[in-house]
Amino acid sequence: MDLTDSIIQKDLTLTFSEDKVAQLLLTHINEIVTRDDIAKALWGNRWIERYSEYMIDKTIYRLRKKLLNDYKITTLRNRGYILSKQNEDLTSLFKEALPVKDSQGITPPLRYLEYMNDKKNLRKTLSDLFFSIKRERITQMIKLPISPSILVINSFSFDNVDAIANWTKEIKVNPKVFFSNFDDRAIKLHNQRINKLGFNNFYSMFDDIRETRLKPDSFDLVINDFRLNFNTSHEQNLNTMRNTHKIAKERGFLLISVVVDPRYESPRYGNNQQKAPINTSAPSTFIFSENLKRFCFTVPYYKKIFKRTGFQLIKEFDIEEGKSWFKKQAYIKEREPSFRRYLLRK
């Protein structure tokens, strides 16, 4: 008799995927089994590139339907699952293992996701990034292999899937594209878009770059579009950049966009901010149309942190658009921030 027969209703059979997951849960009964553990059981050594939140959810859903009434699968948000008997008291386990450490930095509220996923709203997305690298001839500087691996960090806009698909088609590469996020709502949005468009070389997964689980030397190109501004401290920025350097391949590229501290966009320091102080402890904050407070440092600060974490600055670009964006959108804060984009290389 198969091991899993002891927990499955009679006359019901398991698919190959369901059986793999059932065996894993049963082997670790009353223990937390993470989504990563399930992914490894389903896809082996290729689990990162084949990772699918949808497939994991679907397998767990179907497995629950086939369990004997004596058993249950408990979901632990962002942690995984526990297989146990219905009458099992898991109170001690929950107290010991379930407290979830708050994500570092800013976790956007639902209104931010709604704003960023409405194309009618004023926003900057990957489409704008790709437009600027084409306009300023940055594309020619990004030398990618025919089948590159690309990571997009913490995207909150579903149409970023479309944007990177269009761009990679334009530059004639056949990529594997990974969207990582620490917010399961964003993961779901991206999975829905990926599935709708039928992209079998696009993936969405749970990861926080500040404490990444991704393997070193994995990506030819990493894209971080304004996500540093979701960090609230120098230490979080440092962790983000160190981990980005670690997961990028040797000679790999980083495209990064940042909103910069507006206090030093003045005649005193020069319009390019090159003489602004490197202030690691007191960043400025800004709130734009989506009504979410974020943090920004000076241009010299960002350049120094890029260098400190091992990156070579290839090009600073989109400066004029960065300076005029908030003015064009009638930004009415006391001081108007601007943004910069950078092409870096490991």
Decide if 241 contacts 231 (C-beta within 8 A).
Answer: no
131 belongs to a structural domain: yes
Q: Identify the domain containing residue 189 by its residue range.
A: 110-345
Same domain, 149 and 284: yes
Decide if 337 contacts 286 (C-beta within 8 A).
Answer: yes
Confirm whether pTM is higher than 0.85: no
The tally of domains found in the chain comes to 2
CA distance linking residue 167 with residue 159, whole number of Å: 12
Pairing type for strands 338-345 and 312-317 reads antiparallel
Same domain, 263 and 155: yes
- Domain CATH code at residue 291: 3.40.50.150
Residue 301 has, within 13 A of its CA and on its CB side, a CA count of 24
Q: Taking 70 as the threshold, does the pLDDT of residue 228 lie above it?
A: yes
CA distance linking residue 250 with residue 148, whole number of Å: 13
pLDDT digits (tens, 9 = 90+) for 91-108: 444 433 333 445 678 989
149 belongs to a structural domain: yes
CA distance linking residue 144 with residue 204, whole number of Å: 21
pLDDT digits (tens, 9 = 90+) for 70-81: 888 887 766 688
Q: Please state which of the ranges 2-11, 91-100, 104-113, 266-275 shows the lowest mean pLDDT.
A: 91-100
Q: Taking 70 as the threshold, does the pLDDT of residue 3 lie above it?
A: no
